[in-house]
Amino acid sequence: MPRPPRRRSYDQYCAAARALDAVGDRWTLLIVRELLAGPRRYTDLHADLPGVSTDVLASRLKDMERDGLAARHRLPAPVSAFVYELTARGRALLPVVTALAEWGAPELAEPRPTDAVRAHWFALPLLRRLEAMGVTDVVEVRLPEGVFHVRVGGDGTGPVYGEGPAPRGGTASRLELGADTCLAVNRGSLTVEEGLRGGRIRVSGDGSLATALRGHTDLRDLADPVVQMLGPAPMTGSAP
């Protein structure tokens, strides 16, 4: 089967230009952001990319398949649905997307009236901050806007975050905080430890992050009684 024609190129012998040939179109990097959570159905991608037309989404996905960034395959029965998943080359865009998110974070003030919001859009900037803490953990994050989880210290071969609570059956940590606090952590103007001491973040669970935070924070010095009650707690799929 002949290869489909390539999109218009910058025609510059430059690595940055070649990269933009592949991912510089509108929506492509946002599709990568969504697929960093793991395989997604077309309908799920469309739901979490408000504003994209069905034709444009289908076109971008075909381009990503052609350029070796994503692959489409059918899930086994009884699901039997087609999903899109990043290839190794597509997953290698993780530091690109997180760097762009960090660069764009100062532009996030109050949400505009037209802004859509999804809780998991906070995941990748937060993951970068948690990675700097040097732990390996699954961290469930609870915002008023929703719940997601991030995989801190992974090897980069699978999903780095996911919507909903942390998977059952393993150790995990839980952070509860507001969107403004999460933005402050993502920007680097507030550390998780500072948020804990100030009562802006609540921590529970038996994962390595929760254990490290309890070890680094003298809970007896905290005035907030809610924070003073923090301790190991089993992860559940529902809010406490």
What digits encode the pLDDT tens for the residues 124-142? 999 999 999 999 999 999 9
pLDDT at 110: 87
Instruction: Say whether pLDDT at 9 is over 80.
Output: yes
More confident residue, 29 or 75: 29
Model pTM?
0.85
Instruction: Say whether pLDDT at 199 is over 50.
Output: yes
Q: Write the secondary structure of the chain as one string of H (helix), E (strand) and C (coil).
A: CCCCCCCCCCCCCCHHHHHHHHHCCCCHHHHHHHHCCCCECHHHHHHCCCCCCHHHHHHHHHHHHHCCCEEEEECCCCCCCEEEEECHHHHCCHHHHHHHHHHHHHHCCCCCCCCCCCHHHHHHHHHHHHHCCCCCEEEEEEECCEEEEEEECCCCCCCCEEECCCCCCCCCEEEEECHHHHHHHHHCCCCHHHHHHCCCEEEEECCHHHHHHHHHCCHHHCCCHHHHCCCCCCCCCCCC
Instruction: Say whether pLDDT at 232 is over 60.
Output: no
Instruction: Say whether pLDDT at 114 is over 60.
Output: yes
Looking at residues 61-81, what average pLDDT do you find? 93
